[in-house]
Amino acid sequence: MSRITRAAVVESGGAPFALADVELDTPGPHEAVVRMVAAGLCHTDLTVASGGPPFPLPGVLGHEGAGVVEAVGPAVTGVAPGDHVVLSFTSCGACRNCRGGHPAYCASWLPLNLLGGRRADGTGTVHRDGAPLGGHFFGQSSFAERALADERSLVKVDADIPLEMLAPLGCGVQTGVGAVWNVLRPATGSTVVVLGAGAVGLSAVMAAALTPATHIVAVDRVAERLALAKELGATHTVDAADADLGAALAEITRGQGADGVVETTGSAAVLRRGVDALAARGTLVVVGAPPFGTEVALDVNGLLAGKRIVGLTLGDAETQTFIPALVRLVKEGRLPVHRLISTYPFAEIDQAVRDMRAGKAIKPVLTF
């Protein structure tokens, strides 16, 4: 049985999010209908809405949903109607990286999550007036009162935590935390530098504060974000607006350089400074996403001291184990994600987008 629901539709690249009635397809064997309670906004939604990446528009975006399962397809075993779920990315489940516990590097990741707008078999999940819309965004398209979600996008969570606190776990928080826990894995006494103190960077700071790293340096050019970074566990901050980043990091790291750097600004120039700031055998994790085709120049000889540069998708997390661990830390107050969140009623999605673009809201979360 198909369902009519209200969704935020982007008509074409650069158009606003406009609420409209759409038709959700009948759940397939491995799909579920989720009544959305909250959905976070991420810069990737804005990039796709601007028409940059080739996602089929008109379409429905949203990839940090959280809600309650309303109906499940016949082969779904992991969740049942009434369960609270956090929605994250999907994956094929069968390729080498999926089987190896790294579904963010699924062989079908881009078409299934970011660019395809359809199920793997090419069918659409959302229609309007009989014509398919771009949907299946991260297996969810959660800017809608109800979403048809892939089973592999669903993570069952405790029902006693407000879902608006959990929505950002599906992308931004998982990515920042995963950069530190899954890639850097800081050794005792090490230095972690986080470039950019937005939703992803502040999540990396909170994650680093739960490791034996002793120097946690947050870098931004917005003073309020640096102040928040300190409250969330940064031991040092650098305001890139009025400091020489290289000199400041050299001083804080006592001339040794950083053991780990998480780059979230999406600036090629900042990335380059981050690589230069690495200690011997240090690792820089590339998280920030500049426009497609962006290149960066590196000092090749500078890399010979065992430096590593690693790209990252969604924290390289295995969502079914990673997200419940984050939920537990949120519940215990050890991962205070609420400090990043501003809530907006779903109908005010355009205001949320404007506030995010202006840097007024770190992590806008829509409520339904």
Ligand X SMILES: NC(=O)c1ccc[n+]([C@@H]2O[C@H](COP(=O)([O-])OP(=O)(O)OC[C@H]3O[C@@H](n4cnc5c(N)ncnc54)[C@H](O)[C@@H]3O)[C@@H](O)[C@H]2O)c1
Tell me which residues touch ligand X (CB under 6 A): 42-44, 171-172, 175, 196-201, 219-222, 225, 240, 264-267, 270, 287-289, 312-314, 362
Nearer to ligand X, 271 or 327 (CB): 271
Nearer to ligand X, 69 or 204 (CB): 204
Choose among ligand X, Zn ion, none what residue 319 binds, the Cβ cut-off being 5 to 8 Å by kind: none
As a whole number of angstroms, the distance between CA 175 and CA 187 comes to: 20
Choose among ligand X, Zn ion, none what residue 98 binds, the Cβ cut-off being 5 to 8 Å by kind: Zn ion
6 bridge partner residues = 21
- Out of 19, 68, 92, 289, the only residue in the binding site for Zn ion (CB under 5 A) is 92
Enclosing H/E stretch for 216: strand 215-220
- Nearby residues of 121 by Cβ (< 8 Å), 6 or more positions away: none
Nearer to ligand X, 187 or 310 (CB): 310
- Out of 60, 106, 155, 180, the only residue in the binding site for Zn ion (CB under 5 A) is 106
Choose among ligand X, Zn ion, none what residue 92 binds, the Cβ cut-off being 5 to 8 Å by kind: Zn ion
**Residue 319 interacts with Zn ion (CB under 5 A)?**
no
**Residue 174 interacts with Zn ion (CB under 5 A)?**
no
- At its nearest, how many Å lie between ligand X and the CB of residue 175? 4
Q: Are 278 and 307 in contact (CB under 8 A)?
A: yes
- Out of 90, 91, 153, 267, the only residue in the binding site for Zn ion (CB under 5 A) is 91
As a whole number of angstroms, the distance between CA 293 and CA 266 comes to: 13
As a whole number of angstroms, the distance between CA 273 and CA 141 comes to: 36
**Residue 44 interacts with Zn ion (CB under 5 A)?**
yes
Tokens of 343: 């809530």
As a whole number of angstroms, the distance between CA 332 and CA 335 comes to: 8
As a whole number of angstroms, the distance between CA 337 and CA 204 comes to: 11
As a whole number of angstroms, the distance between CA 160 and CA 297 comes to: 49
As a whole number of angstroms, the distance between CA 101 and CA 97 comes to: 6
**Residue 20 interacts with Zn ion (CB under 5 A)?**
no
- At its nearest, how many Å lie between ligand X and the CB of residue 363? 7
Residues near Zn ion (CB under 5 A)? 42, 44, 91-92, 95, 98, 106, 171
